[in-house]
């Protein structure tokens, strides 16, 4: 286990023509354990029964404003029951896994489409800034996720497009899809990629079904299980989401909290040690730095931790390495440390370990 070092970022420039060649594939490489489905933990699936027209009609300007005023917040990591610390139903230890894929460019992408990238000398950034070009690659794969909680309250998270053969898959936090505190599965979910300041240049994409770890249903644990996938319906006019905006790749590996060149993206409605007026919930923002082991003293706790002040609303946003070249999701904005009053206590932003639980969720997507 590596020692947590200073946060830094150095970004290497890449010619656009080379980038296009590198990103044109969705090939998936599976390492040991990735295909051992019988040993992977279980998942739960929820299907949307409402028609897309009904979901779109639900999102009036008034309900969108209510969602912006209610950004979803993660909870605090806790020690789960001993049987669930590293063990799925059935008793066998979770396997070590390694599974990855490169990003996918949208159909018809040109070299000019790839110019809205961070500067090659981008510094460490723990105080989040607004994304300069949220409608351009590699920012537009991230967007607002609006939904109605099971208790009827409109709310907001962040999600991002992840490369998949179905060309329609989002990656986000499990608590943005199933929230036990509010009564269960969310509904009337719609994704707005590249949204900024209320402008939605790529339209809204309606949920078809969601997948979360069974452990999240049984006993929500932010250390291992706060990630999920949401598949969206094909749009009658725009076609498939991945063809429209492209998709990030992914790298899911057991015991892998340390990553260089990581960007965290999200739509925060609040943050650490900053006034709420700095965060609208409608603006895509980002931090940059390394991720490190969240708990060196506990070998069972392999959460990713980075320094970033984004809070509620940024939940579900991606932690992406190599954003400038071949972006891959390595984690998901999940939770922060809070005091008994719910106030953020430090500048640490956490992701659940993206190992066997993440592989299980991804492989359950059809």
Confidence band for 32, pLDDT divided at 50, 70 and 90: very low
More confident position, 98 or 109: 98
Residue 338 DSSP SS3: strand
Where residue 83 falls among pLDDT bands split at 50, 70, 90? very low
- pLDDT range class, residue 18, cuts 50, 70, 90: very low
DSSP 200: -
Span 65-71, mean pLDDT? 95
Distance CA 289, CA 10 (A): 9
pLDDT of residue 121: 54
- Pull the structure tokens for residue 293: 């082991």
Higher-confidence position of 113 and 340: 340
**Rounded Cα gap, residues 56 and 53, in angstroms:** 5
Choose the weakest-confidence range: 18-22, 201-205, 221-225, 282-286: 18-22
Strand pairing report for 328-332 and 249-253: parallel
Close Cβ partners of 57 (under 8 Å, ≥ 6 residues apart): none
Residue percentage of the chain with pLDDT more than 70 = 80
The pLDDT value recorded for residue 39 is 83
| Under 8 Å between Cβ of 149 and 71 | no
Query: What confidence category does residue 224 fall into, taking pLDDT thresholds of 50, 70 and 90?
Result: confident
Model confidence at 11: pLDDT above 70:
no
pLDDT of 294: 83
Residue 228, beta-bridge partner list: 172
Averaged pLDDT, 296-318: 88
Distance CA 58, CA 152 (A): 12
Contact (Cβ atoms closer than 8 angstroms) between residue 114 and residue 137 = yes
Is residue 191 pLDDT above 60, yes or no?
Answer: yes
Quick one: pLDDT at residue 222?
A: 84
Question: Domain segments of the chain: what residues?
Answer: 16-364
């Amino acid at each position: 286990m590596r020692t947590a070092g200073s946060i830094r970022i150095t970004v290497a420039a890449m010619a656009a023509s080379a980038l296009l060649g590198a990103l044109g594939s969705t090939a998936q490489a599976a390492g040991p354990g990735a295909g051992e489905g019988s040993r992977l933990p279980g998942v739960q699936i929820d299907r949307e029964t409402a028609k897309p027209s009904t979901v779109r009609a639900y999102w009036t300007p008034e309900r969108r404003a209510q969602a912006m005023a209610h950004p979803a917040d993660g909870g605090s990591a806790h020690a789960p029951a001993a049987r669930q610390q590293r063990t799925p139903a059935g008793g066998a230890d979770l396997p070590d896994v390694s599974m990855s894929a490169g990003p996918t460019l949208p159909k018809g992408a040109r070299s000019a489409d790839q110019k809205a990238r961070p500067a090659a000398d981008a510094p460490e950034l723990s105080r989040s800034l607004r994304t300069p070009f949220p409608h351009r690659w590699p920012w537009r794969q991230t967007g607002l996720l609006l939904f109605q909680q099971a208790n009827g309250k409109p709310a907001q998270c962040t999600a991002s497009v992840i490369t998949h053969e179905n060309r329609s898959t989002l990656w986000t936090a499990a608590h943005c899809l199933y929230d036990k505190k509010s009564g269960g599965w969310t509904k009337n979910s719609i994704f707005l990629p590249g949204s900024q300041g209320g402008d939605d240049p790529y339209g809204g994409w309606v949920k078809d079904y969601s997948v979360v770890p069974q452990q999240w249903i049984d006993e929500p644990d932010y250390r291992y299980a706060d990630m999920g996938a949401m598949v969206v319906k094909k749009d009658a006019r725009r076609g498939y989401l991945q063809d429209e905006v492209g998709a990030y790749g992914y790298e899911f590996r057991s015991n892998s909290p340390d990553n260089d060149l990581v960007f965290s993206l999200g739509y925060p409605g609040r943050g650490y040690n900053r006034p709420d007026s700095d965060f609208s919930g409608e603006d895509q923002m980002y931090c940059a730095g390394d991720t490190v082991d969240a708990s060196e003293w506990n070998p069972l706790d392999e959460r990713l931790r980075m320094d970033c002040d984004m809070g509620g609303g940024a939940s579900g946003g991606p932690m992406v390495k190599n954003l400038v070249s071949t972006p891959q999701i390595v984690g998901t904005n999940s939770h922060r440390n809070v005091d008994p009053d719910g106030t953020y206590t430090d500048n640490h932003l956490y992701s659940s370990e993206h190992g066997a639980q993440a592989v299980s969720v991804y492989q359950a997507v059809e």
